[in-house]
Structure 1
Amino acid sequence: MTELTDHDIDGSFSTARINVRSDDILLTSDSYREFIYDHDDPAIAKFRGLDYEAFADEKKRPSFVQDLLASWQALYDEPFVGITTDGTLVPGLYPLPKRTEPNDERMVTAAYHFLATLDAPQRAAVNHAIDAPEWRAWSNPEFVIHRVGVRLEELSRDAADAALSLVAASLSPAGYERVREAMSLNGYLGELTDLTPLMNERSYWFSLFGTPSTTEPWGWQLFGHHVAVNCIVVGGRQVIAPVFLGAEPALSDGAHPPLFADREAQAIRLGESFTDAQRAKAVVYRSVLDPAMPEGRVHPADERHVAGAFRDNRVVPYEGICVREFDDAQRRLLREIVDDFLLLLPDHQRALTMQLVGAHLGDTWVSWYGATDGSQPFYLRIQSPVIIAEMDHHAGVWLSNRLPARFHVHTTLRLPNGNDYGRAYLAQWRAQRNE
């Protein structure tokens, strides 16, 4: 790795974001507005006038991006296993009761209402088998990698609204509000850059998997720039994972509510609560671009987060501090942070998932990169046998900050050891019916 230079940047996938620095990266009071490109700056002006298809073609042209896409395609082509700590699945972590409950009827009703708004070609495009590989085709860049399902901005207003009504029927009210705010911030970014054909509130792909039913497994997927939500119901249990939510800007000076301010504040409270001995274990790297990081630890697209798009089978060893070393107050705060990561789940489903998380609290690890007092950008990962939750500050893509800042945030949520996309529940549901 080399030191950052002012000219060392490659569009959305900046080489600057992987260059380590020996000095501290301090957060300032600068607004994201200080980093808005001039309207005619070539960094953004060259894309003006393109539709999303032409933009995708242009973004994929550089050889660096071609190599990146090839690496992602290779990961996508792998058979699904699930994220593990050492390459071996831990069995029996997600028990599905033999006496299952019905799936939420409101979701089923909303799904059929959505389907009724589509014509025959659209219905054919939106429907996939329950275990179709397209589940794993989601991504978070603003340019198209895989075309899966239907694109909301190409649907009629009634059809797009019906798709979002299904999302609303599936999530908690607060969870739906968060997803919609992330989509709205994507539209806001399009307005800031005058690139609304590429980034708007409806530049997202939507699919159904399986047949909507109160008795059979089925689900849906919504993905695009800074939003990817995978939702499946199996025997009355609901999985919403993987989830990717982010924003640039995540803080918008009153134009929009801050998307992750509460979670960030909770994380900093936890970091500030560490004793010196705890901090020495929890803080894996002293900054988010620490020269002590091994080669490749910071990815040009993902930066530090490890559970993003196409990472379904990643081996992620535990690092940091085990929660067994926390006191009761720290454990309560940790549970509050995890509960916020699970906000998209309806209350009953979130409570069931939190019970599962609680059962493995003693085998939960917290890793932190950067200062723990909020003075620097930071990376946080909470990891156990049944959850991976990440929060990472990023450098600019459509804003000009070349170092990570609080106003560009990525978050991920996974259910490791094979239950992303509800796969562990689905396997049990099928086995129970074949007994």
Structure 2
Amino acid sequence: MLRVVTTFLSSLTEEQRKKATFPFGDEERFNWHFVPRDRKGVPLKEMTPAQQKMAMAILQTALSNQGYQKAKSIMEMEVILKAIEKHPPENTYRDPGKYYFSVFGQPSEQEPWGCRIEGHHLSLNFSSATGSLVAETPAFMGSNPAIVPDGPEKGKQILKEEATLGFNLVQSFNPEQMKKALINEVAPNEIVTSNSRKALLEKPEGILFSEMTLKQQQLLKDLLNVYLNKYNSELATDLRAKVEKAGLSKTYFAWAGSQTPEVGKAHYYRIHNPVLLIEYDNSQNNANHVHTVVRDLTNDFGEDALQAHYQKHPHE
């Protein structure tokens, strides 16, 4: 990642580099969101084809092939959404070129630095210290529509596994288990933690991993891996080890809303343990609009790891 980010920055003009780079301590590093809005950074639409290729190489380095294809499809969904919403050709509200690349600090093996790739329905944040990637969250992926209703791409569903495995698990519960898992008959209208700098939930709710059958436990692990395996194998392994060290026995699965997979029936779930929070929400636009997020409850933006770095290596 250090190499591809450095290569990307070296390809930019002076004006582009001013847009793309920020001091590592700048508050902009925590200014993340997943709605269609103007952002800081340099967008794909202002890059040459060669620069775009270098920018996308950052994603390819950090993500698995599966994760990269999902991120790329989310960008491309802007074209489909523009057609669905009947925006005129000159309108740029929905635009696959409005995905912004930002770098915080000077990429180096000695000093902390980070990067962000963000636009509508995509926010990926990475933080590094002393040559190691110390954080890969917050990580947001969404899709509107969740399932393309018509046109040449009819039936396309970018976040299909996230939905299917969630329903497979909730539909496997017996009535007693369902009483624990179902935290509300109505799904929230959004992921609960939204774009907060630090993800906080008052308490874990739902059914514990240890209260599931072996088959259900495997389903939950499969669902967890759908999210972790979006990263490259090294990052996925690190996150999985962190979850396992905290204890799968302390992991909760919670559901809200409809347990029937149909457009128009809003539903929500989350996976929550002491170190990780995953949220999935499909309630907006007649429940055909998905938001998903992965939060590291101990280390979003690498704050804990970076604090330890600064204690060991004081900076002015």
Question: TM-score, normalised on structure 1?
Answer: 0.65
Q: Note if contact 1:320-1:365 (Cα within 8 Å) is conserved in structure 2.
A: yes
Measured on the aligned residues, the alpha-carbon RMSD in Å equals: 2.1
1:171 aligns with 2:44: no
Give the CA deviation at 1:154: 2.3
Q: 2:146 matched to which residue of 1?
A: 250
Q: Note if contact 2:34-2:119 (Cα within 8 Å) is conserved in structure 1.
A: yes
1:414 aligns with 2:267: no
Other structure's SS at 1:183 match: helix
Q: 1:133 matched to which residue of 2?
A: 27
* Cα separation, 2, equivalents of 1:143 and 1:129: 22
In the superposition, relative to structure 1, how do residues 149 and 199 fare at CA in structure 2: closer, same or farther (>3 Å)? same
Alignment length (residue pairs):
304
Identity %: 26
Give the CA deviation at 1:348: 1.7
Q: 1:269 matched to which residue of 2?
A: 168
Give the CA deviation at 1:183: 0.8
Other structure's SS at 1:138 match: coil
Other structure's SS at 1:245 match: strand
Q: Flag the structure with higher strand content.
A: 2
* Cα separation, 1, equivalents of 2:227 and 2:84: 28
1:326 aligns with 2:212: yes
1:370 aligns with 2:276: no
Give ranges in structure 1 of 5+ residues lacking alignment. 1-106, 289-297, 397-402
Q: How does 1:300-339 map to 2 (within 5 A)?
A: 303-312=189-198, 314-339=200-225
* Cα separation, 2, equivalents of 1:164 and 1:246: 18
State the structure with bigger RCO (CA 8 A, min sep 6), 1 or 2: 1
In the superposition, relative to structure 1, how do residues 408 and 175 fare at CA in structure 2: closer, same or farther (>3 Å)? same
1:210 aligns with 2:105: yes
Q: 1:379 matched to which residue of 2?
A: 268
Q: Note if contact 2:63-2:230 (Cα within 8 Å) is conserved in structure 1.
A: yes
- 1:385 maps to a residue whose letter is P
* Cα separation, 2, equivalents of 1:381 and 1:229: 19
Q: 1:428 matched to which residue of 2?
A: 308
Q: 2:45 matched to which residue of 1?
A: 153
* Cα separation, 2, equivalents of 1:366 and 1:131: 36
Q: Note if contact 1:248-1:409 (Cα within 8 Å) is conserved in structure 2.
A: yes
Give the CA deviation at 1:215: 4.1
- 2:153 maps to a residue whose letter is A
* Cα separation, 2, equivalents of 1:351 and 1:425: 18
Q: 1:232 matched to which residue of 2?
A: 127
Which deviates the most, 373-382 or 273-282?
373-382
Q: Note if contact 2:180-2:207 (Cα within 8 Å) is conserved in structure 1.
A: yes
Question: TM-score, normalised on structure 2?
Answer: 0.88
Give the CA deviation at 1:373: 4.2
Q: How does 1:277-292 map to 2 (within 5 A)?
A: 277-288=176-187
* Cα separation, 1, equivalents of 2:211 and 2:82: 45
Give ranges in structure 2 of 5+ residues lacking alignment. none
* Cα separation, 2, equivalents of 1:313 and 1:266: 24
In the superposition, relative to structure 1, how do residues 169 and 313 fare at CA in structure 2: closer, same or farther (>3 Å)? closer
Give the CA deviation at 1:208: 0.4
1:358 aligns with 2:244: yes
Other structure's SS at 1:111 match: helix
**Could you give the per-residue CA deviations for residues 94-113 of structure 1, whole angstroms, max 9, x where no partner exists?**
xxxxxxxxxxxxx2221122
Q: Note if contact 2:267-2:283 (Cα within 8 Å) is conserved in structure 1.
A: no
* Cα separation, 1, equivalents of 2:235 and 2:19: 30
Equivalent in 213, 236, 241 of residue 137 of structure 2: 241
